[in-house]
């Protein structure tokens, strides 16, 4: 239970916000540094906070990273235990500049964790493109079939076990022009030998093909292992380019890390498929967001 919670906390991106809270505590302590002990606590809070933010695999944009790193470095270099009167205004400005940039980055990341607005998918048929997380695997009924049965939706599942962003192009041939699409792909690219550049080229080609027809597309955001930021940044950038709605990574990850939700630690058991179907039912059909 504790192991699953830790994995979920890190990979879901929750660790980013826990780390941000620690960095903020360090920022607050900067105003109260009166002793070496408080100074040590401030440094530890900032270091552990930044470590958690990095481990979360959160794919901040390059601009955000540059601004955040620059403002943090400027603040820490200018700030100190003993502040001369003539430097107080500079220190104050550096603290405020960092907090402003930091807050913008955190708020911007928060929007990727909120429930997706998928009401406009309506009751059109849906086709699911994916890998073994969505395909028929073992004796389990995959979540698209469970979701279809519970909701009454017309859902066609063309997911193939072992698919990656490149091979998923073949699944596009089975999509009719009237169907909206849900994409669950990328896990095998990260866990396999594909480079980030390969993944970008393949996913770009896949989304470009899918958007040749006027349809709505949603895509599961990939749960990222620590320090796999670039894959997530690519997915977000391409989703924005092609107008694809992202389903927060906690949705897919929550089904994987729940108790008895996998058959081998990775592939969903029937309970896992049922959990994921329930989430999709809530986002698309109950509209409780």
pTM: 0.85
| Pair 26, 161 in one domain | no
pLDDT tens by residue, 14-30 = 899 999 999 999 999 88
Compute the radius of gyration of the chain from its Cα atoms: 22
Name residue 157's beta-bridge partners.
128
pLDDT tens by residue, 38-68 = 778 888 999 999 999 988 888 888 888 899 9
Q: Give the CATH number, domain containing residue 216.
A: 3.40.50.1110
pLDDT tens by residue, 66-76 = 999 999 888 88
φ and ψ at residue 233, rounded to 5 degrees: -65, -40
Residue-number span of the structural domain to which 274 is assigned: 119-286
Q: Distance (Å, rounded) from C-alpha 19 to C-alpha 40?
A: 17
| Pair 187, 244 in one domain | yes
Side-chain half-sphere CA neighbours of 193 within 13 A: 0
| Pair 150, 22 in one domain | no
Handedness of CA 110, 112, 113, 115 (dihedral sign): positive
| Pair 152, 265 in one domain | yes
Which tokens is 47 given? 């270091």
Name the residue among 146, 158, 57, 161 with its Cα closest to residue 109. 57
φ and ψ at residue 122, rounded to 5 degrees: 60, -150
Q: Distance (Å, rounded) from C-alpha 189 to C-alpha 239?
A: 17
pLDDT tens by residue, 113-159 = 988 777 778 788 999 999 999 998 777 899 999 999 998 989 999 99
Per-residue pLDDT, 288: 41
Q: How many domains does the chain have?
A: 2
265-285 mean pLDDT: 88
Which tokens is 275 given? 């959990």
């Amino acid at each position: 239970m504790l192991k699953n919670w830790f994995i979920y906390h890190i990979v879901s991106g929750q660790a980013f916000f826990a780390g941000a809270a620690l960095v903020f505590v360090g920022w607050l302590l900067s105003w109260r540094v009166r002793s070496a002990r408080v100074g040590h606590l401030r440094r530890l809070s900032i270091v552990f906070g930044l470590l958690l933010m990095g481990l979360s695999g959160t794919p901040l944009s390059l601009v955000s990273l540059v601004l955040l790193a620059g403002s943090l470095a400027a603040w820490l270099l200018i700030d100190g235990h003993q502040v001369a009167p003539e430097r107080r205004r500079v220190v104050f400005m550096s603290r405020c500049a960092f907090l402003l940039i930091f807050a913008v980055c955190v708020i911007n990341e928060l929007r990727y964790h909120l429930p997706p607005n998928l009401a406009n998918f309506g009751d059109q048929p849906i086709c699911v493109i994916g890998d073994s997380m969505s395909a028929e695997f073992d004796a389990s009924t995959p979540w698209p079939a469970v979701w279809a049965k519970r909701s009454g939706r017309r859902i066609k599942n063309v997911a193939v076990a072992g698919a990656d962003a490149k091979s998923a192009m073949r699944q596009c041939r089975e999509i009719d022009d009237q169907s909206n699409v849900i994409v669950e792909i990328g896990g095998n690219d990260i866990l396999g030998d594909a480079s980030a550049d390969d993944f970008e080229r393949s996913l770009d080609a896949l989304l470009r093909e899918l958007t040749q027809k006027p349809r709505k597309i949603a895509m599961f955001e990939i749960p990222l292992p620590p320090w796999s930021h670039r894959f997530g940044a690519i997915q977000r950038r391409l989703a924005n380019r092609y107008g694809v709605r992202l389903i927060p990574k906690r949705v897919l990850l929550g089904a994987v890390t729940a108790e008895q939700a996998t058959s081998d630690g990775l592939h969903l058991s029937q309970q896992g498929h049922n959990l994921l179907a329930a989430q999709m039912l809530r986002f698309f059909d109950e509209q409780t967001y």
